Amino acid sequence: MSTHKLLFLVLLIYPVCQCSAQADSAFALTEKLSQKYLTHTSNKIDLYSKRVSNKTEKTLVKLCRWETKIQTLLQKANPEAAERLFANNSISFKKLLEEYKRSESQLQSYKAGYDKYRDDLLTQLKYIDSNKTVLTKKSQELLTKAKDNASQLENEEARNEAFQKMIKERRQQLIAEAMKYMGKNKYLQKINKEGWYYVETLKNYKQLFNEPGKAEETAKNILSKIPAFKEFMRRNSMLASLLGISADAASSQSLAGLQTRFAANNQMQSLATAGGPNGAQYMQQNMQTAQAELNKLKQRIEKVGSSGSGELPDFKPNNQKTKTFAQRLEYSADIQPLRGNAWLPGALNTGINVGYKLNDKSVIGAGMSYKLGLGSIQKIRFSNQGIGFRSFIDWKLKKQFFISGGYELNKIPASPQPGFIIDEWQRSGLVGLSKKQTIGKKRTVKTQLLCDFLSYQQIPKTQPILFRVGISLK
């Protein structure tokens, strides 16, 4: 076969192979990308939207109630100021609540701020939608629902950010004006606190929403292996539209004028050479100083929060109020050795506990325990020595140390000696010290030294001094 014929055959077959490869990639997407991802995405958006809407409505109800109280008091203190603050054309919490309940907003032109996670999520759904012809009917239905939820999410985010801004402005207006005539009124303080907690709670909800689940990670890994997806992501993401990189624009035109990494490195080397023999060292020191200043600035921003309010609370906040119920729970397990006596063998008490964080310093909780008999050193013998129920409280004393207390009921086996009466349900009143040490990023080890002040009232007498070691399970 001649060279010309071979070249013609290659050119003829290449488009067919390319189309086949694209079809294979789409088919692989269909096979590997399960319906679990689409269901997870849709449910996740629903949960986030419900959390934000419920919190916003509850906050506005509280603010509206306190605003009415302030209006009544201000009318007595200064009618002119009350008329100025509560004029018909002014924004009030009552008007905001009515507008929010109607689900109508006159802020159609307001755009939500850029969020990378939301951008990636929406672009992934767009790409899957562009290949929906190879999806099953069930997957197409789930995709339609996920797309609708994602589109609605964009509108809700813009609306929620606008309401946050108006709530903040009204809060500042009330505090600034009413405080002149009412002083530090309790209703003004409540409005100030509720406004701060509202912003921080929504920020926490967004952080939870931006944490990808297992189904999302799997989908992302699959999509990242498809070259067409990378190109689609680069041209159709929200960030691309902000930078002016549209699907019809060439990347070289969109990125014209931007300095390349090679050019930047050459410029840095030229500056270091111009500085003499110590130029590189001097530049390195300046870079370290600049990095240190950036770290300080980052810490300050984290303290203030990324809500954009730029405000520090003028009260001592309870950060647990900004968390969900599940976030305030902590799970743990512990073990406790028990020495034997004339009636009971040596044992190992194991327990599981669930605590609820009341605030940043206090935890209350409950748990269950199981006592495993070990026998003696001379003769090890495992046996059932009963179960127990417990309640506890930890209050932070200083740094890693806590004051701990609790009440427990422990069931023990019946007396092996006929005619000898014992307490089958033994009570324990505990008080002592605990120390919590963080291991790694998530685990916490808790060591406790407790005194049972009810031990001498039990028959048989229980161990008065207890030592426990536990570890967090979450």
Q: What is the spatial distance between Cα 338 and Cα 346, in angstroms, rounded to a whole number?
A: 6
More confident residue, 316 or 341: 316
Handedness of CA 173, 175, 180, 186 (dihedral sign): positive
pLDDT at 47 over 60: yes
pLDDT at 7: 37
pLDDT at 364 over 90: yes
* Best-predicted range by mean pLDDT (377-386, 396-405, 456-465): 396-405
More confident residue, 123 or 262: 123
pLDDT at 404 over 50: yes
pLDDT digits (tens, 9 = 90+) for 74-88: 888 888 888 888 887
* 300 and 311 Cβ atoms separated by less than 8 Å: no
pLDDT digits (tens, 9 = 90+) for 172-194: 888 888 888 887 888 989 999 99
Q: What is the spatial distance between Cα 178 and Cα 71, in angstroms, rounded to a whole number?
A: 9
Q: Six-digit token pair at 469?
A: 């070691």
pLDDT at 304: 46
Q: Which residues, 6 or more positions from 354, have their beta carbon under 8 angstroms from its beta carbon? A: 329, 330, 331, 365, 366, 367
pLDDT digits (tens, 9 = 90+) for 9-33: 333 334 444 444 444 455 455 555 6
pLDDT at 426: 86
| Preceding peptide of 460 cis, ω within 30° | yes
pLDDT-derived band at 147, boundaries 50, 70, 90: confident
The domain locations on the chain are: 23-243, 326-472
- Predicted TM-score (pTM) of this structure: 0.74
* 360 and 384 Cβ atoms separated by less than 8 Å: no
Q: Which residues of 316-337 are buried (b: 16+ CB within 10 A; e: fewer)?
A: ebbebebbeeeeeebebebebe
**Backbone phi, then psi, for 219, in 5-degree steps?**
-65, -40
pLDDT digits (tens, 9 = 90+) for 201-237: 999 999 999 988 888 888 888 888 888 888 887 777 7
Containing 455, the helix (H) or strand (E) segment is: none
pLDDT digits (tens, 9 = 90+) for 420-444: 556 678 889 999 999 999 988 889 9
The CATH architecture that domain 326-472 belongs to is: Beta Barrel (2.40)
Mean pLDDT, the chain, whole residue set = 78
* Best-predicted range by mean pLDDT (6-15, 147-156, 413-422): 147-156
pLDDT at 451 over 70: yes
3-state SS assignment for residue 196: helix
Q: Torsion angle of alpha carbons 313, 319, 325, 330, nearest 10°?
A: 180
pLDDT at 143: 86
pLDDT at 20: 44
pLDDT at 381: 78
pLDDT at 213: 83
pLDDT at 254: 47
pLDDT-derived band at 125, boundaries 50, 70, 90: confident
Q: Which residues, 6 or more positions from 431, have their beta carbon under 8 angstroms from its beta carbon? A: 403, 404, 405, 450, 451, 453
pLDDT at 198 over 60: yes
Q: Picking from 114-123, 167-176, 439-448, 449-458, which range would have the lowest pLDDT averaged per residue? A: 114-123
DSSP β-ladder status, 443-452 and 465-472:
antiparallel
Query: Percent of the chain scored above 90 by pLDDT?
Result: 28
* Total Cβ atoms within 10 A of residue 468: 19
* 386 and 358 Cβ atoms separated by less than 8 Å: no
